[in-house]
Amino acid sequence: MQLGLIGLGKMGGNMRERIRRAGHTVVGYDRNPEVSDAKSLAELVEKLDAPRTVWVMVPAGTATQTVIDELKDLLSPGDMVIDGGNSRWTDDEKHAEELAAKGIGFVDAGVSGGVWGLK
């Protein structure tokens, strides 16, 4: 399996490590270049084979909306975005509609486990 993961903070960074330990390929992006595998969201998308799956682990609200806005112009029909950042359900409905207009799938999958999730 191949996955793009956006947001490599306490939870996203541990998720990337666990998924890699399970033998999967993860291309991660974070604003912090010291932990990022790609220099931009565009580069992250370029490194993934179609159809792409991109998991978003950024704070709810403006941060998530900014990522969705950029991804909807980078991804292609048949690609999938998973929001793991516990966004408000009304935001999820909006994101699903925005992405569906471009033929991009959307799944809301709030993540639990806290920073101890790696263990």
Q: Give the DSSP letter string of 72-83.
A: HHHS-TT-EEEE
DSSP 3-state of 21: helix
Number of C-beta neighbours around residue 49 at 10 A: 7
* β-pairing verdict for 53-56 and 2-6: parallel
pLDDT tens for the chain, 119 residues long, are 999 999 999 889 999 999 999 999 999 999 999 999 999 999 999 999 999 999 999 998 999 999 999 999 999 999 999 999 878 888 899 999 999 999 999 999 877 665 555 56
| Radius of gyration over every alpha carbon of the chain, rounded to an integer in angstroms | 13
Look up the pTM and report it: 0.90
Q: What is the pLDDT of residue 29?
A: 98
Domains and CATH numbers, the chain: 2-118 (3.40.50.720)
